[in-house]
Chains A and B, each alone.
Chain A
Amino acid sequence: MKTTILKTFVIAVCVSLLFSACKKTETTQQIDNELITTVGLQFVDASTASATIVRWEDLDGDGGDNPIIGFLTLDANTTYNFSFSEITNASKSPAESILEEIEEKATEHLFYYETGTSDFVFHDFNLDSNNAPLGTTASVTTKVTSSGTLTVTLRHMPVNKSATDLNTIGGSTDIQIGIPYKIQ
């Protein structure tokens, strides 16, 4: 009887060790880290069709090197068609398009643009399938000359898509970048 008990015990232990070993291999697969390294903003002049692209890029993610931030120059008294030239994770090869994922999950995302002045406004955002704003494309109207910082914020799982201030919009911030600009 002693040996039977010992045997059962040893077998039980081996089985449980095996079980824990299995669990480990299953999870060493691909792990998603969803890093965004590069954001490109494209402004196309509605009348002349000339395009201006400005980029924000931080290839190594948090820490390490500082991000490389472009400078945006736009003409006064002009209307532009705004869109993103890219939102990618360029740390992977080939670079992974995050913009595609955002557009696929349009109801779970909202872009917010702050310029600090009513002379540089983003309006007429594109909509998601619930007719709520998304903002991956918009119209931009500039008036008099000015300068400042354009802050582009992407909120994931916003609480209130019809709100006009970031706090009420809620959700978690996936992008918040500041691009210095000049309207001339």
Chain B
Amino acid sequence: MFLKQGFWLVFWLFFTTISVGQNCKLKISGVVFDALNGQHLSDAVVNIYPVKQSGISDMEGHFHFVDICPNRYILECHLLGYESFSSTIELNKNKFIEIGLHLQPTHLKTVVVSANKTQKQILQPSQTLSQVELQKLSGKMLGDLLSGMEGMSVLQTGPSIFKPMLHGMYGNRIAIVSNGAKQEGQQWGVDHAPEIDPFSAEGITVIRGASSLLYGSEAIGGVVLLNPYQFDFVQHTNKTMVGTTFGYNGRLFQPSFQTVQYINSAWALRMNANGKYSGDVKTPSYYLNNTGTREWNGSAQMIYHTPIMDLENTYSSFNSVLGIFKGAEVGNITDLQTRIKQGNPLSTSSFEYGINRPYQEVHHQKWVSQAIIRKNGEWKINYTFQNNLRQEYDVIRNSGSNAPQMQLVLQTQHLDMQWKHPKFSAFSGTMGIQNQYQDNTWAGVYLIPDYQTFGTGLFAVEQYEWSKKTNIEAGLRYDYKWMQASMFEQPKKSLGARIYPTFLYNAISGNLGMGTWLSNYTKLVFNIGKAWRPPSMYELFANGVHAGTASIERGDKNLKVESGWNTNLDIRHQTNWLSFNATFFYHYITNYIYVVPSKELELTVRGAFPVYEYQQTDAHYFGADFYTKMYLHKDVWVDGYYNLVRAYEVHSRQHLALIPADRARANLVFEPIENHELSFGASYTYKQTRVSDDSDFAPIPPAYALLNAGYWGSFCIKKYELKLGLSIQNLLNTKYRDYLNRFRYYSDEMGRNISVRLFFIF
């Protein structure tokens, strides 16, 4: 009997010791700042030993670690140009630490982190998705993945084509930069999704403000940066991830592989590969025939690193085949109107993986070579070569043919050089030159002519620390662009003389920004700038049926450059338990280029098509993004987003088409066990009431609400980590249509989708 009691006592003691030991839910957060001037420092590496957790301070100098056990630790922080900081901390409850770093008196010692390749204009509002957040969204196309971020919405052409939209702007008005090089594809096309694999990036940052200074003329609305992997030769941890994603709707299967290998103290390599195989997508009532996709992507990044120099080469390949919904094959205006009145596809079938005509096939290869030299500041040179091949395979009578009906090949080369000068007194800054040469050829159906472009941009950005709390940034850029098309006078018939319309543009753009800390936790940022955008070849020379819209679009070769003033105000407040962010933006664009119905009907062999013409006007764009996150309890938090955009013509005060309606979203997240979280979310998209029903082919769809739920957990087994995600989107299988999806003319949106994600990391 005594033995039995003793056993239970020991058992109970053992159990409680274990459970006490398991209270590893403490958080360490803090801020890294310059000990001398108080400026918050980004990209500082913070390590905790012996737990071996590591983090990098964000743009506001903040960092945080979660799920730490109570114990005594050594916290260490280092950043290029500063002396390392080390301190012992005793952790028995959540801790907030302020780390003040002192500048190194002499020149640079051992570089611990290869320099940040993502050039950010430090003072524009932005949001970043980390690697983990990208994993939680694996299987989605880039535009779809980005649509949940602040300020973002998405322009869709069916369930497989997503074009990112920032503050209502898309295509040639936002730049997408991956691995330091601007992505060049046929961005002018509404049904041309960006040819980028989100898995090739370590994180994605969206900058919600005009960023033409560093990214050129197409960043008038903002930039999407796909951040490359940052090698860490101090930690040099080899890491491999093998994963797979399954999506029930569409029977999606996406295997993925990623590895980082440090070969020795100077060489390292990162490789990734993934593929996607999916079939017909289902709305709540029927399958969308021929909406399967195939994708196969890979990249290899190799670096040679010394304290003074980094040499890096990256090769990436993106390949996709996208089925186009058979029910969206519409002929002339009468057919479209009849189809819209009918509301749903005429015929539907059961699930199939097969992709038949019509489909799109896109291949994008990118090679980036970069050298960074850290002497007298930091010098960076990079050369990029991109090859974009886009083909459209339409339904044809000749079933023996394997050829596409339209093909565009765009080759672009960039050669950029920049110098970040050493900081003197309170000034830091960068100046550089960016050059671009581009060559386009077409075959099959004429959409845009053959052309070449050459551009040069010279820029300089300076940041001045006005005080401990306030920074001022000013930048100026001069751009020169030459474009020459090579075409027949009657391009579609290849008749008439050969003409070479040539365009020359010169523009100055600039930005003035100010960021100030109103308190330790609240920052205010204000920007005002001038940006420009030359017309695209499509806006100049379009002349033909716009695929799937039953309309003919006509360009105007006399279009002038768009130029605009833009301003934004961003307020950010962040403490341990509450984050709040509000961004207000305004653009005034003169010579804004857009397409307008002309009241003309053109007769073709396939019937009558309304004609749309490219015109210029003056336009306002303004709106706001709101975001808040609140911890209700140390394991429970809630966040909310609200986006709104208004855009209209200055003189007629008529609202522009294809502007997103207001959208509100909220999420509730529980973390009942360490490293396992349950989330519930809801979104409400308002009806776009600023566009009248008769200015569109179909009535504007009503407002709709969607619910989703998910689980994300991480299991650690010795040195291995297994991440498991389960998510249900459109939980209630709601039937809805979205104004920004062109296929709303033909069908409902996707119904419920259940995804399972598995990542094995070792």
A residues with CB within 8 A of B = 1-2, 5, 9, 12-13, 16-17, 20, 23-24, 27-37, 39, 56, 58-64, 66-67, 91, 98, 101-102, 104-105, 108, 153, 156-157, 159, 166-168, 170, 172-178
Most chain-A Cβ atoms within 10 A of its Cβ — which of B346, B397, B398?
A: B397
Partner of B397, one of A29, A156, A173, A175: A156
| A1 CB contacts on chain B under 8 angstroms | 263-264
Are B397 and A66 in touch, CB under 8 angstroms? no
With A34-B397, A58-B603, A105-B397 already in contact, 8 other A-B pairs whose C-beta atoms are closer than 8 Å: A5-B267, A27-B403, A30-B403, A63-B602, A108-B397, A156-B397, A174-B605, A174-B606
Most chain-B Cβ atoms within 10 A of its Cβ — which of A24, A36, A102, A168?
A: A24
Are B443 and A170 in touch, CB under 8 angstroms? no
B63 to chain A, nearest CB (A): 34
A171 to chain B, nearest CB (A): 8
| A2 CB contacts on chain B under 8 angstroms | 263-264, 266-267
Report if A36-B397 is in contact (Cβ < 8 Å); known contacts: A16-B317, A31-B444.
Answer: no
Are A39 and B444 in touch, CB under 8 angstroms? no
Report if A173-B492 is in contact (Cβ < 8 Å); known contacts: A20-B363, A34-B396, A58-B605.
Answer: no
> Is B285 in contact with chain A by the CB < 8 A criterion?
no
| B495 CB contacts on chain A under 8 angstroms | 60
Closest A residue to B492 by beta carbon equals: A61
Q: What are 28 A-B interface contacts by the 8 Å CB criterion?
A: A5-B263, A16-B315, A24-B389, A27-B391, A27-B407, A29-B403, A31-B406, A34-B397, A34-B405, A58-B603, A58-B605, A61-B492, A61-B544, A61-B604, A63-B552, A64-B490, A64-B493, A67-B603, A159-B347, A167-B346, A170-B346, A172-B331, A172-B395, A173-B335, A175-B606, A176-B606, A176-B607, A176-B608
A114 to chain B, nearest CB (A): 11
- The 8 A-B pairs with the shortest beta carbon distances in the complex, nearest first, are A173-B331, A176-B607, A31-B444, A60-B493, A170-B346, A63-B543, A101-B397, A172-B329
Are B403 and A31 in touch, CB under 8 angstroms? yes
| B342 CB contacts on chain A under 8 angstroms | 167
> Is B409 in contact with chain A by the CB < 8 A criterion?
yes
B488-512: CB near A (< 8 Å → 1, else 0) gives 0010110100000000000000000
**Complex Cα gap A20–B347 (Å):** 38
Report if A17-B365 is in contact (Cβ < 8 Å); known contacts: A31-B443, A34-B398, A36-B605.
Answer: yes
**Complex Cα gap A30–B338 (Å):** 35
Are A176 and B493 in touch, CB under 8 angstroms? no
| A153 CB contacts on chain B under 8 angstroms | 607
Closest B residue to A159 by beta carbon equals: B347
A69 to chain B, nearest CB (A): 8
Are B444 and A9 in touch, CB under 8 angstroms? no
Residues of B33-71 contacting chain A, CB below 8 A: none
B243 to chain A, nearest CB (A): 23
**Complex Cα gap A66–B396 (Å):** 25
Interface size band for B: 35 or more
| A56 CB contacts on chain B under 8 angstroms | 605
A-B contact count (CB 8 A): 151
| A30 CB contacts on chain B under 8 angstroms | 403
**Complex Cα gap A37–B387 (Å):** 35
Partner of B493, one of A32, A61, A175, A178: A61
> Is B545 in contact with chain A by the CB < 8 A criterion?
yes
Are A67 and B605 in touch, CB under 8 angstroms? yes
Are B331 and A63 in touch, CB under 8 angstroms? no
| B606 CB contacts on chain A under 8 angstroms | 173-176
> Is B334 in contact with chain A by the CB < 8 A criterion?
yes
A68 to chain B, nearest CB (A): 11
**Complex Cα gap A79–B444 (Å):** 43
> Is B476 in contact with chain A by the CB < 8 A criterion?
no
| A13 CB contacts on chain B under 8 angstroms | 300, 313, 315, 367
Are B363 and A9 in touch, CB under 8 angstroms? no
Closest A residue to B493 by beta carbon equals: A60
> Is B404 in contact with chain A by the CB < 8 A criterion?
yes
A117 to chain B, nearest CB (A): 19
> Is B332 in contact with chain A by the CB < 8 A criterion?
yes
Are B607 and A58 in touch, CB under 8 angstroms? no
Are B313 and A9 in touch, CB under 8 angstroms? yes
**Complex Cα gap A62–B182 (Å):** 34
Are B401 and A67 in touch, CB under 8 angstroms? no
**Complex Cα gap A31–B408 (Å):** 12
Partner of A102, one of B263, B346, B347, B397: B397
> Is B554 in contact with chain A by the CB < 8 A criterion?
yes
Are B365 and A20 in touch, CB under 8 angstroms? yes
B258-299: CB near A (< 8 Å → 1, else 0) gives 000001101101000000000000000000000000000000
Are A156 and B395 in touch, CB under 8 angstroms? yes
Closest B residue to A63 by beta carbon equals: B543
**Complex Cα gap A66–B302 (Å):** 58
Closest B residue to A13 by beta carbon equals: B315
**Complex Cα gap A34–B395 (Å):** 10
Partner of A39, one of B264, B367, B395, B605: B605
Closest B residue to A151 by beta carbon equals: B607
Report if A12-B332 is in contact (Cβ < 8 Å); known contacts: A170-B346, A176-B607.
Answer: no
